[in-house]
């Protein structure tokens, strides 16, 4: 099915199941421990051995010698695999770093060996017996130093009008630099895989957000046909982008299993999760704004510097600035520096998350320079069209309504405009806000739907559920389309033998994957009507039955009385995303308290207002948003990978040293979804909220801290040491 025009008669619009705040159907499995994750497929691999990965102890250089004899002869050891005996390996398209290093070392903790043994303890002990001699080379690990030493690769993004002239002549202007640090995904489940070979065919249970991508990458790396690889990932214990791409656990489990001649499971220890896999790279962002005295922006300039390994990509931190505010003269650019740190890549809301952390402070600084309220300044610069392409309107844009709704609900009118104007005992209290923005992406997605003889529905697609509620919203979609209770729908996900879906990432998963299910259900509806001899025009699927325009009715199961009906289809999106700028919008409001003596910051309350198309399940969507808001608190106040500038690795590479928010850090959170449908997004009229809930939170917190204390911190995270000089002398 090709979606290139909004459907006039759309069965999904009945909204008897879709749009309801239903409990997650996988919840009981997870709360009782019956959901089986990648490392836990004991029934399928009862005799699995254990692989332990050895990571490189240098960040750049060469292995001049590696002695594995002692490890190979250690108790319980079945195999030791290194680049020397692994055979010829291809290079995947989606990883900057080589998954099995040697002799060249590209980054710290790059995998250089896997030891396979009967037990985890034996494998770990044996890995310590491997003797590696390195010849280290000088590496580049400091983004700021690299920026000073070299211009890097310059990537212009937008240039409209004459930014330099408009900025120079603007009566009011700001020119500030902001920084965001390297950050870790820090998901609960580590990267883990279980590999089983049957002849030349590999089955790999792995923790993956993108099953089809993973299957292709494994096949390409091992040099075997894709048809010989089956990748299965029914449950993923968090990913945030870290599991978009195949990592060393999957490859080394496969290589270890082949070498040992039996199933092997591998889980990366937390230090390798942080140093071996991907992370959000640090940025340095310069933002220049020029405005007329009435608040209208006339010049918008946003440049960002980030680093990655050779062949890597920049953090797209300027993306939202291309679309969010009006301004006749605009310029944005990315600059990529070569660094020898672990690979930088996608992390929840890549680009917009760190970009909004800078842009929305800059907007507050300009509002202050103009003497305008921060909300009204943003309203003043709203735009109904893509500012860089005025012929292209937004499919939906309700940013102003988000701002107005949030300001009213949060009590923004009670905010003290002058910093430091409100105090409650030991606490300096402030309010801050920021816009939220994330592009709406769509991706081709397929599904298979079965109608069995008792009227039950089975949905099969390789879509994954990373804790986002995919099982539930897919079941809701099928139930709505075929007119059956939710309990009559079984959903099977995360298996490469199923039709290829969008996968989970980029906030595209829910909308795209359910659209694929919609397409398959439309085909199944047609097959059912043909079996029953009913005309399609006026037919209604409801209450487990089908009724035609003449009033004839039959149980849905009757269509499958001689055997199940199966339909498979794919939803391919037309060019509507080119005719319209598709985006999601929101507003974040935060109140903080800052201890007048210590500078400790406490979040007191948070509000997110989201305009993101039809909300398929308000309960799962709210969970996504409050989780993103919590992640935003971490990014603003505590999350930072500390780089050892001598050795080139992340020092705080565990969940003790890498701080993330805990329950006590998070207060009352409120989420408002505007009642919205976007008919040009998909047949579901939905978009996504999983990343929108993060974009802007950090800046709202920074702006609230400024309102409380007068401390304008432009370097994240905002730790108390950066506030001490602004606190009252008499706390």
665: its two tokens: 């850090």
Closest CA to 690 of 636, 635, 638, 612: 612
Say how far apart CA 560 and CA 570 lie, in whole Å. 23
677: its two tokens: 């449908």
Asked if 722 and 186 touch (Cβ cutoff 8 Å), the reply is no
Give long-range contacts, CB 8 A cutoff, 24+ apart: 154-157: 154/333, 154/334, 154/335, 155/314, 155/333, 155/334, 155/335, 155/336, 156/332, 156/333, 157/318, 157/319, 157/322, 157/332, 157/333, 157/334
| Helix or strand run (H / E) with residue 568 | strand 565-573
Say how far apart CA 516 and CA 509 lie, in whole Å. 10
Say how far apart CA 216 and CA 496 lie, in whole Å. 10
Pairing state between β 264-267 and 61-67: unpaired
Asked if 183 and 280 touch (Cβ cutoff 8 Å), the reply is yes
Say how far apart CA 353 and CA 530 lie, in whole Å. 49
331: its two tokens: 């310029």
Catalytic residue list contains 316: no
> How many C-beta atoms surround the C-beta of residue 331 within 10 A?
23
Say how far apart CA 471 and CA 464 lie, in whole Å. 8
Among 217, 368, 480, 691, the one annotated catalytic: 691
Say how far apart CA 4 and CA 576 lie, in whole Å. 6
Residue 475 sits at φ, ψ, to 5 deg, of -65, -40
* Packing angle of the helix pair 352-370, 697-709 (nearest 10 deg): 40
Say how far apart CA 344 and CA 354 lie, in whole Å. 13
| Helix or strand run (H / E) with residue 135 | strand 131-136
52: its two tokens: 């332990």
Which residues, 6 or more positions from 115, have their beta carbon under 8 angstroms from its beta carbon? 51, 52, 54, 71, 77, 79, 80, 123, 124, 126, 127, 130
User: Which ranges of 536-593 would DSSP assign to H, the alpha helix?
Assistant: 576-579
List the catalytic residues.
691
């Amino acid at each position: 099915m090709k979606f290139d025009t909004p459907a006039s008669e759309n069965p999904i619009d009945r909204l008897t199941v879709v749009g309801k705040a239903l409990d997650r159907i996988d919840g009981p499995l997870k709360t009782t421990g019956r959901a089986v994750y990648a490392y836990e497929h004991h029934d399928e691999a009862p005799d699995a051995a254990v692989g332990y990965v050895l990571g490189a102890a240098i960040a750049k250089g060469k292995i001049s010698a590696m002695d594995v004899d002692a490890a190979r002869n250690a108790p319980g050891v079945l195999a030791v695999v290194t680049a020397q005996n692994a055979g010829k390996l291809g290079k995947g398209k989606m990883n900057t770093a080589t998954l099995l290093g040697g002799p060249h070392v590209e980054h710290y903790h790059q995998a250089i060996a896997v030891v396979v043994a009967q037990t985890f303890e034996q494998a770990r002990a044996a890995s310590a017996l491997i003797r590696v001699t390195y010849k280290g080379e000088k590496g580049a690990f400091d983004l700021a130093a690299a920026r000073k030493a070299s211009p890097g690769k310059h990537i212009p993004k937008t240039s409209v009008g004459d930014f330099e002239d408009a900025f120079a002549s603007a009566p009011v202007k700001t020119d500030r630099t902001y920084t965001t640090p390297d950050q870790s995904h820090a998901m609960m489940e580590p990267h883990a895989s279980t590999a089983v070979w049957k002849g030349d065919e590999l089955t790999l249970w792995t923790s993956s957000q993108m099953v089809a991508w993973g299957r292709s990458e494994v096949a390409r790396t091992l040099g075997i046909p894709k048809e010989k690889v089956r990748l299965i990932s029914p449950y993923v214990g968090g990913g945030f982008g870290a599991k978009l791409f195949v990592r060393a656990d999957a490859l080394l489990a496969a290589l270890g299993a082949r070498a040992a001649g039996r199933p092997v499971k591998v889980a990366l220890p937390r230090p390798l999760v942080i140093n071996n896999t991907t992370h959000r790279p640090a940025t340095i962002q310069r933002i220049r704004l020029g405005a007329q005295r009435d608040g209208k922006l006339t010049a918008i300039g946003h440049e960002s510097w980030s680093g990655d390994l050779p062949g890597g990509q920049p953090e797209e931190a300027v993306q939202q600035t291309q679309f969010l505010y009006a301004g006749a003269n605009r310029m944005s650019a990315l600059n990529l520096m070569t660094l020898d740190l672990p690979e930088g890549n996608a992390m929840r809301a890549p680009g917009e998350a760190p970009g909004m952390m800078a842009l929305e402070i800059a907007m507050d600084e300009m509002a202050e320079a103009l003497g305008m309220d921060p909300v009204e300044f943003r309203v003043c610069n709203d735009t109904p069209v893509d500012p860089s392409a005025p012929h292209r309107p937004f499919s939906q844009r309700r940013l102003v309504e988000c701002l107005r709704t949030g300001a009213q609900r949060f009590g923004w009118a009670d905010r003290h405009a002058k910093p430091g104007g409100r105090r409650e005992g030991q606490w300096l209290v402030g309010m801050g806000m920021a816009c939220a923005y994330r592009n709406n992406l769509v991706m081709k997605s397929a599904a298979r739907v079965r109608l069995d003889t008792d009227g039950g529905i089975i949905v099969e697609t390789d879509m994954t559920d990373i804790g986002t509620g995919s099982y539930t919203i897919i079941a809701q979609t099928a139930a709505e389309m075929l007119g059956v209770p939710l309990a009559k729908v079984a959903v099977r996900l995360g298996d490469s033998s199923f039709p290829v879906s969008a996968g989970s990432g980029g906030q595209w998963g829910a909308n795209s994957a359910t659209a694929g299910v919609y397409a398959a259900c439309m085909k199944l509806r047609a097959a059912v009507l043909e079996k029953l001899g009913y005309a399609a025009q006026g037919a209604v699927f409801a209450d487990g039955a089908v009724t035609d325009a003449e009033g004839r009715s039959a149980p849905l199961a009757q269509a499958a009385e001689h055997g199940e009906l199966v339909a498979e289809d794919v939803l391919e999106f037309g060019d509507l995303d080119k005719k319209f700028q598709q985006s999601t919008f929101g507003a974040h409001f935060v109140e903080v308290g800052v201890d007048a003596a210590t500078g400790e910051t406490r979040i007191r309350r948070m509000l997110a207002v989201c305009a993101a198309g039809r909300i398929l399940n308000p309960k799962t969507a709210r969970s996504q948003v409050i989780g993103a808001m919590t992640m935003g608190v971490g990014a603003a106040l505590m999350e930072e990978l500390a780089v050892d500038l001598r050795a080139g690795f992340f020092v705080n590479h565990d969940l003790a040293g890498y701080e993330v928010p805990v329950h006590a850090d998070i207060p009352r959170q409120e989420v408002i979804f505007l009642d919205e449908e976007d008919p040009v997004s998909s047949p579901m009229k939905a978009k996504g909220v999983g990343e929108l809930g993060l974009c802007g939170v950090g800046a709202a917190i920074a702006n609230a801290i400024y309102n409380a204390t007068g401390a304008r911190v432009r370097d994240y995270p905002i730790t108390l040491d950066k506030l001490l000089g602004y606190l009252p002398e008499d706390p």
